[in-house]
Amino acid sequence: MKYSFLGAIAFFAASTGAASAGVIFTDFGPAQTVQNQSWVVGDTFPNPAMLFISPGDYSVSQIDVALNGGNMSTVSVSLHTDFAAGPGALLGQWDVTNIGVAPAIYTISGISGVNVVAGFGYWLQITTADPALGWPLNDQGIFGLVYDPPLPTGNNVLGAFDILGSPVDVPEPFSLSLFASGVVGAAVVRRRRRRADA
């Protein structure tokens, strides 16, 4: 009895599979190049945000974002839920320092505790006080919703970025039902044995 229960648990654990790193969103091409044009981050239309839809349930581990035009400035990169076609609840915020004039890709790694859910929209937002800072456009022709007040949210070329992470293990319904039936079966057998022994 004890061994059949342990076997059911081992099967269930094996059926959920191991998580592997994956791309949640990217608008970078293979060479991670960007356009010469940029969204202005710290000037007339400060704090732009770009919307992406999560293709699955993921735990975010890394964000890469293209930035340029800075005078060794600091920017804040934040990830938000979607609320009424704009950034909603803050999921996480990270500072990137020493942004140079030439376009470059800056990496935020070691992110933990930030999860995204399949089919839901999320906003990546850049904030800075440096009026010269830019968020270069992707050169893959990928459009999406851009939040850039006071302009209305609209479909436009996205700034270049990617979001990486690991899939969150969600057991398949069949695995759950198989596990549950094994537990129920084990309980029935145990109960019958107790009655027989009494």
- Give the per-residue pLDDT at 43: 72
pLDDT in tens, 104-154: 999 999 999 999 999 999 999 999 888 888 999 999 999 999 998 777 778
- Whole-number pLDDT of residue 5: 42
Query: What pTM did the predictor assign?
Result: 0.75
What are 4-22's pLDDT values in tens digits? 443 443 433 444 444 456 9
- More confident of the two residues 191 and 112: 112
Reported as a single tens digit per residue, the pLDDT across 29-67 is 888 899 989 888 877 667 899 999 999 999 999 999 999
HEC secondary structure over the chain? CHHHHHHHHHHHHHHHCCCCCEEEEECCCCCCCEEEEEEECCCCCCCCEEEEECCCCEEEEEEEEEEECCCCEEEEEEEEEECCCCEEEEEEEEEEEEECCCCEEEEEECCCCCEECCCCEEEEEEECCCCCCEEEEECCCCEEEEECCCCCCEEEECECEEEEEEECCCCCHHHHHHHHHHHHHHHHHHHHHHHHHC
pLDDT higher than 50, residue 164: yes
Q: What is the pLDDT of residues 74-109, one digit of tens each?
A: 899 999 999 988 999 999 999 999 898 889 999 999
Domains of the chain plus CATH, in order, are 1-18+171-198 (no CATH), 20-168 (2.60.120.820)
Give the pLDDT confidence score for residue 53 in this predicted structure.
Answer: 97
Q: Which of 25-34, 54-63, 167-176, 189-198 has the lowest mean pLDDT?
A: 167-176
pLDDT of residue 148: 84
> 172 vs 196, which has greater pLDDT?
196
